[in-house]
Structure 1
């Protein structure tokens, strides 16, 4: 995928996250996602097979910073205190969790969204 495609993909993911937060997964339509991302609905389907695939991409996108923050813990050995490092990481995770929460709620509310 080229840089332009990456940007479009990111806009679709961000639009999905925002719309799920606003109206819930069940009420989000692919057309609404496309409009919010500023693309045609056909463009959405060039990047994702369906709404569910786009939803999973949004979940993975929102989880990436959480994984990255956790992965840095071993590199902090010998810097600061263990407690201080853990507290900093927990603060980061709490911030990141706010973005992920609406997606997690959608997964709980809709059994068809259970991970494959």
Structure 2
């Protein structure tokens, strides 16, 4: 499954992360955190030095409460990329849900599938 359309390069580069929906942002989260940690500066959320800033980030994807809490000020580009990719993934998730709902409405009343059996 590829990413199509006018998608920013940052998102296209991370398209390999898109596998099962529950894994998408988890893998993105791990990738971004490893990028930040490899830069050398990563502080706890109670960091008093002001060398880090909070990135409050809780995507509303069912079954996934991941958040990227803190990113070093020198890695703002990573924070921006994280938000862009997450928004793209969330939008794709919502679009697929909406399409499923629309397809469901096209099924004739009676709850039967095309072969007469109950739909599952």
Taking structure 1 as the reference length, the TM-score comes to 0.32
Larger radius of gyration: 2
More strand by share: 2
Taking structure 2 as the reference length, the TM-score comes to 0.32
More helix by share: 1
